[in-house]
């Protein structure tokens, strides 16, 4: 599939570990397959292990355009200085810091889907949520809640609304679903909520819109 034939490019955040439940890797595999079947491209964090490698390989080996963006320090640690095999994991872009990685992932993506993961996944997820709230972008942000992984996060969001720290409208920035199929549907049907800040970020926006 040629890059110029894709309908949209989705950025997937997820763990570089496999997790304890086999359902996590199954969800990653299915997500990569559906990205290809829907004629989407994939941007991800550039690793080859765990869920991150699984979703990339599932998309790339079927023919979807895939780009991994990874800091040089992680290439040295995780890949012994070698970039991942392009036939298995798509194109790899090596950058020099985490901030550049996140900025480029934002610039290249039309939507964001978060699968289960650890601190890095949470940090990437919360940044794009904040960007949406501040009006830096208006793109879909979807949580794939495999095995109830994001139940705690959704409870925290609801508690933040009840406590007066997040508005009821901004709660709708994030869509939580249970299956990869529902994640595709949520991206396609996403409507940016009202109540987001209408700030002018045109001079230094890290994202497309």
HSE (CB half, 13 Å, CA atoms) of 199? Answer: 14
Q: DSSP strand E in the chain: where?
A: 8-13, 40-44, 66-71, 91-95, 111-114, 141-144, 174-177
Domain limits, the chain: 8-188
Exposure of 91 by Cβ count < 10 A (0-12 exposed, 13-18 middle, 19+ buried)? middle
Selected from 3.40.630.30, 3.40.50.450, 3.40.190.10, 3.30.70.1450, the CATH number assigned to the domain covering 8-188 reads 3.40.50.450
Give the per-residue pLDDT at 199: 76
Question: Rounded mean pLDDT of 156-174?
Answer: 96
pLDDT in tens, 44-102: 999 899 999 999 999 999 999 999 999 988 887 666 567 788 899 999 999 999 999 99
Q: CA angle 149-155-157, nearest 5°?
A: 110
Task: Tell me the C-alpha distance between 34 and 31, whole Å.
Answer: 5
Give the residue from 88, 91, 87 showing the smallest Cα distance to 53: 88
Give the per-residue pLDDT at 94: 94
Mean residue pLDDT across the chain: 92
Residue 40: pLDDT above 60?
A: yes
- Residue 114 is given by DSSP the state E
Give the per-residue pLDDT at 61: 97
Distance of CA 126 to the CA centre of its chain: 11
pLDDT in tens, 98-136: 999 999 999 999 999 999 999 999 999 999 999 999 989
Give the per-residue pLDDT at 83: 77
Q: Please list the residues that pair with 91 across neighbouring strands.
A: 67
């Amino acid at each position: 599939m040629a890059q110029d034939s894709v309908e949209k490019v989705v950025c997937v955040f997820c763990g570089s570990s496999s997790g304890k439940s086999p359902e996590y890797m199954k969800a990653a595999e299915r997500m990569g397959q559906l990205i290809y079947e829907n004629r989407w491209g994939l941007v991800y964090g550039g690793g080859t292990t765990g869920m991150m490698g699984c979703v990339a390989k599932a998309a790339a080996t079927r023919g979807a355009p895939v780009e991994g963006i990874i800091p040089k320090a992680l290439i040295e640690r995780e890949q012994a200085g070698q970039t991942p095999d392009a036939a298995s994991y798509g194109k790899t872009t090596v950058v020099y810091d985490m901030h550049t990685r996140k900025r480029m992932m934002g610039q290249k993506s039309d939507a964001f889907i978060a699968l289960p993961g650890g601190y890095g996944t949470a940090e990437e997820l919360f940044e794009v949520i904040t960007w949406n709230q501040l009006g830096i972008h208006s793109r879909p942000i979807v949580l794939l809640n495999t095995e109830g992984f994001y139940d705690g996060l959704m409870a925290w969001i609801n508690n933040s609304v009840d406590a007066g720290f997040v508005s009821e409208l901004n709660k709708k920035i994030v869509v939580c679903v249970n299956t990869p199929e529902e994640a595709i549907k949520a991206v396609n049907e996403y409507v940016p909520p009202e109540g987001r800040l209408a700030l002018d970020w045109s001079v230094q926006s890290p994202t497309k819109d």
